[in-house]
Amino acid sequence: MNLDDVRKLIEEQEVESIDLKYADLVGNWYHITFPVRRLDHVMKNGIPFDASSIPGMKSVEAGDMVLLPDPATAIIDPFTPTPTLRMLSYICDADTRLGVNKDPRTVASRAQNFMIESGIADTSLWVPEFEFYLFNEAVINNGKYSAGYRFTSDENKDDLPGGYLDADGTAVAHRKGYHIDIPFDKHAQVREEMVRLIEAVGCPIRYHHHEVGLSGQQEIETELLPFELITDKMMYVRDIIHNCALRNGLTATFMPKPLYDEPGNGMHFHIQLRKDDRNVFYEKGGYADLSDTALSFIGGILKHGRSLTAFTNPSTNSFKRLLPGFEAPVKLFFGIANRSAAIRIPKYVTSEESKRIEFRTSDGTCNYYLAMSALLMAGLDGIKNRILPDDDNAFGPFDDNVFDWTEEQQSRLTSIPTTLEEALEALQSDHDYLLEGGVFSRELIDSWIEEKMKEVIAVRNRPHPFEMNLYYSL
């Protein structure tokens, strides 16, 4: 969509306001709204704002930046009562009008350009899998003298909301929720509404279903889409899921591990590279019909896997999901249809057109722009340096359950970090591949580590409710 298309859409939909969205370093959305009559002025001059008020974005001494709208991202807002047009924007320097080093959308644009300039591929296609819980209630309390939370679901007989009696007996227990059918899948129609709105903003959906978690865990999966398109569409998808849940009296969370000893929420990324409309990951006769390009791409991700988790799993809660036994990979290797692997080669994708890899470690607390750019850069580094998985680096392929191996065999495998702090330390020591082509900057990495360490310290310094069970009476 170009500016003329935007003007036409404004006229057809009788739009009154334009809402500009932008993402901060960690992936939170912000917005500013202006009357539609100011469109031409804003397209030419942008909107100045104080970036020092946005965490991790800029110092107070030099805070002035401008938001420049991107007409290609324009949609009609599905949730505002007043006809409103949404656009995403770039965060640009007030003087040069170029995207700043720490603008996530600009980083993604630089990653895309770096890939093209490398000559390896001209397109990367991605499928994100959105896993999330829909709760009926989310009561959260954190203060000096009390702390705790309670999530409830009308689907789980052991987790019913206050005052809900389950008079029709459709809440269940003692089973998994994977693909559970109606009427026990109580929010199937809510997912239908989400999917309708998601497809309306130009993001085609492959399917949706109830996930394993019985207390309302859901999954929505897109079709293969180009990197530069899906990174923006994912922001709209997340927003639609949250707002649609609220409109239906529910609350959605992408937290990796909201419930103890229950399945966590991942965000698996399926990835494919193409050049001249040919899938460069496919080569008939290789392992899983993968080309050396694909294997090197895998090798790059696995080599840099520990530092990548600083972007793909950037919360203290992330590492409560990454535990053996929950189909959450904790070892850096790959294999066919292996759900304990960090990278899985889906067994059902057998044709040249569909052949791809699936990175399974990541979760929904990531900043989509930065996490996907980091994965792309790691894979391209693997191709550039021909980092082929083999016996020396123990990256696989392994097609059996590595947790059935002996301790000696498992010790050969590289483990992902066990905490966010450990992941940030890995990023500190392994980030040169991200700096290639100026895609990421040292300034961004330093700010990322600084902001994320604030979360580490905030969690570390607070008493945990379970500590009361362990130590209160000693």
* Residues tagged active-site: 50, 129, 131, 211, 219, 268, 339, 358, 360
Residue 252 burial (10 A CB sphere; 0-12, 13-18, 19+) = buried
CA distance 167 to 244: 26
DSSP string, 338-364: -TTEEEEE-TT--STTT--EEE-S--T
Beta bridge partners of 290: 282
Residue 344 token pair: 């899985």
Q: At a CB cut-off of 8 Å and minimum separation 6, what does 450 contact?
A: 56
Q: At a CB cut-off of 8 Å and minimum separation 6, what does 48 contact?
A: 64, 65, 66, 94
Give a three-class secondary structure readout of 59-82. Answer: CHHHCEEEEEECHHHCEECCCCCC
- The closest of 112, 130, 311, 119 to 228, measured between CA atoms, is 112
Beta carbons of 153 and 135 less than 8 angstroms apart = yes
CA distance 415 to 389: 16
Q: 216: which DSSP letter?
A: T
Relative orientation angle of helices 420-429 and 442-460, to the nearest 10 degrees = 160
CA distance 267 to 273: 19
What phi and psi, each to the nearest 5 degrees, are found at residue 14? 50, 50
